[in-house]
Structure 1
Amino acid sequence: MITSDVTLSPAAAGRILSIGAREGRPMMLRVAVEGGGCSGFQYQMDLVDEAGPDDLRVERDGATALVDVISLALLKGSEIDFVDELAGAEFRVRNPNAKSSCGCGVSFSI
């Protein structure tokens, strides 16, 4: 199932595809929200090569991110992006539902 509630930026799609090319097999980025972190919720991101039965697919340019049904409510309207800055390179969630976030950008509150 493909969902439009969450989008994948061109940079994130490109990075997922390049990781898959380097690994020699297609890879997908799984994005989930868990309780914890200094602001209440935190993002969990993993690279996987198989989707789970309840995963929703977010696709762009041949790349796929996966979001579980429970996390989707907290990620509605979000963009999964990839940034490469002086401080480091990482996947990042731009979440319009987050009222505040910690300094590292990994945890947030609603």
Structure 2
Amino acid sequence: MNLPPKVTERAFQRLAQINADRDGVPLRVAVLGGGCSGFQYDIRFDQPEDDDLILESEGQRVVVDPVSLPFLAGAVIDFTDELIGARFVIENPNASSSCGCGTSFSM
């Protein structure tokens, strides 16, 4: 059995800040075909579906659909605040390579 993705405390804290005035809409992390390396991440706010995996901490939720789940096995969903900008990032052990934009990868 593959390990589910993990969400860092920092990512949940940032989600709580964003959701302070948004009614606690979950953050959806999905994998789509396309992008410059074959797959790309789709990170957006979205309502959960019945078959989603829900990762929850302190009232904040991150949801992953069952199709994306195998691509995110063992991945770490984090939040980074760097010179290039503040954003949610995914450290994915399944990705064999990724591109400079950080949203596209191959397996």
Confirm or deny a common fold (TM above 0.5): yes
2:71 is equivalent to residue 69 of structure 1: no
Give the counterpart letter for 1:44 in structure 2.
D
Partner of 1:102: 99
Pairing partner for 1:91 from 82, 88, 91: 88
Partner of 1:33: 31
Structure 1: which 5+ runs fail to align?
A: none
TM-score computed with the length of structure 1 as normaliser = 0.90
Q: Could you tell which deviates more after superposition, 95-104 or 51-60?
A: 51-60
Structure 2: which 5+ runs fail to align?
A: none
| Percent of paired sites with the same residue | 49
TM-score computed with the length of structure 2 as normaliser = 0.92
Work out the CA distance in 1 between the residues paired with 2:95 and 2:60.
25
1:49-94 deviations in Å (ceiling 9; x for gaps): x211111101223321000001000000001100011110100111
Q: Could you tell which deviates more after superposition, 55-64 or 66-75?
A: 55-64
| SS of alignment partner, residue 69 of structure 1 | coil
2:52 is equivalent to residue 55 of structure 1: yes
Moved over 2 A (4+): none
Indicate conservation of the 8 Å contact 1:82/1:91, yes or no.
yes
- What is the alpha-carbon root mean square deviation over aligned residues? 1.1
Work out the CA distance in 1 between the residues paired with 2:102 and 2:88.
11
Work out the CA distance in 1 between the residues paired with 2:48 and 2:96.
30
Q: What displacement does 1:102 show?
A: 0.3
Give the counterpart letter for 2:35 in structure 1.
G
